[in-house]
């Protein structure tokens, strides 16, 4: 009898887990649900409407939640009337002249292909007949354009897998706060606030967020800790680790300055089901307000 109960429990558990990460199409019902849960006003009020580019073209791993994120961000902008959201897919968006149109750029899971892990190279290779040497030079120029844009005061918000955009670039890693290393399998995890009193995590009310996601691990500039961490996961609670680590926690969201500009990274989330949490929608909205300079808070780096 005990054995049968155990088997049934495992079956139900795996079924529930599968349901949590099952892909689904965007429907009118889903859009209405997100609109209902989305905040109706921003944390910082009486601000001018900001123009935001949500770049949503992946050339490598294609996260199924890309279109869901794009719709969610449009809803946040429209419902609060604080952001004019433009969805972009073409590399011309990163011309200097085009970047000047926007107060912030949001990288929406725009993963490049491996092992080069260079989004601009991939986009040029897909859409031009230029030889590789010219593509390499041009891709570096687009990378410089974006880094200069942020350094001169533009905002950059990075969602989940988009941390890989220029994953092998040391300079880019220093701007973003780290590069992608690997992730164990998807699993339920409890994401916690580093400092529950920090203005950017008030949405979680000291309770964090429990959801199914990929626990991302990072390398390169990450270990300089040149950022202010917001959220973390406890490593000893994770399954499927590939490497032994000395650290007890792993940061999965942070903010930082780059020159005159601001960067916000959030690893949550890999699945659109996570958007069913109103606190995560508020967190994203606050992150948007941070990168455009409306939400002022401590973004000093914690250092090594």
Query: Mean pLDDT throughout 89-116?
Result: 97
* 210-238 pLDDT per residue, tens: 999 999 999 999 999 999 999 999 999 99
First to last CA, the chain: 54
Tell whether the model's pLDDT for residue 10 goes beyond 50: no
pLDDT at 8: 43
* Average pLDDT in the chain: 93
Query: Mean pLDDT throughout 243-255?
Result: 93
Model confidence band, residue 246 (pLDDT cutoffs 50, 70, 90): confident
* 41-81 pLDDT per residue, tens: 999 999 999 999 999 999 999 999 999 999 999 999 999 99
Q: How far apart are CA 108 and CA 66, in angstroms?
A: 6
Query: Mean pLDDT throughout 239-262?
Result: 94
* Domain 2-291 class in CATH: alpha beta
pLDDT at 245: 86
pLDDT at 13: 38
Q: Are 215 and 184 contacting, i.e. CB atoms less than 8 angstroms apart?
A: yes
pLDDT at 269: 79
Tell whether the model's pLDDT for residue 272 goes beyond 80: yes
Q: How far apart are CA 145 and CA 55, in angstroms?
A: 15
pLDDT at 7: 38
**Paired sense of beta strands 261-266 and 155-159, if any:** parallel
pLDDT at 138: 97
Q: Are 103 and 152 contacting, i.e. CB atoms less than 8 angstroms apart?
A: no
pLDDT at 304: 83
Q: Is 40 exposed, middle or buried (0-12, 13-18, 19+ CB in 10 A)?
A: exposed
Q: Which residues are within 8 A (CB) of 247 and not within 5 positions of it... i.e. 6 or more apart?
A: 235
Tell whether the model's pLDDT for residue 14 goes beyond 70: no
Tell whether the model's pLDDT for residue 37 goes beyond 50: yes
């Amino acid at each position: 009898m005990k054995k049968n109960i155990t088997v049934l429990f495992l079956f139900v558990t795996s079924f529930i887990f599968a349901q949590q990460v099952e892909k689904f199409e965007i429907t009118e019902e889903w859009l209405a649900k997100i609109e209902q849960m989305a905040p109706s006003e921003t944390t910082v009020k009486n601000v001018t409407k900001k123009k935001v580019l949500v770049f949503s073209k992946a050339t490598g791993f294609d996260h199924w939640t890309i279109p869901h994120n794009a719709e969610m961000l449009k809803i946040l902008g429209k419902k609060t009337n604080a952001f004019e959201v433009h969805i972009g897919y073409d590399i011309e968006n990163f011309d200097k002249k085009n970047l000047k149109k926007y107060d912030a750029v949001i990288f929406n899971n725009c993963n490049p292909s491996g092992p080069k892990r260079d989004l601009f190279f991939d986009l040029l290779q897909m859409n031009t007949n230029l030889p590789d040497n010219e593509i390499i030079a041009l891709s570096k120029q687009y990378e410089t354009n974006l880094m200069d844009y942020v350094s001169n005061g533009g905002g950059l918000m990075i969602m989940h897998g988009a941390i890989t955009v220029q994953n092998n670039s040391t300079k880019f890693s220093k701007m973003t706060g780290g590069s992608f290393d690997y992730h164990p399998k998807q699993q339920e995890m409890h994401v916690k606030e580093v400092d529950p009193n920090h203005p950017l995590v008030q949405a979680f009310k000291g309770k964090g967020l429990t959801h199914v996601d990929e626990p991302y691990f990072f390398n390169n500039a990450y270990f300089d800790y040149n950022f202010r961490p917001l959220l973390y996961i406890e490593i000893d609670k994770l399954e499927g680790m590939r490497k032994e680590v000395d650290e007890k926690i792993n940061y999965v969201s942070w903010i930082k300055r780059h020159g005159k500009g601001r960067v916000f990274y959030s690893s949550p989330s890999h699945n659109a089901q996570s958007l069913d949490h109103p606190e995560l929608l508020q967190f994203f909205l606050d992150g948007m307000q941070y990168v455009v300079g409306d939400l002022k808070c401590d973004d000093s780096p914690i250092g090594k």
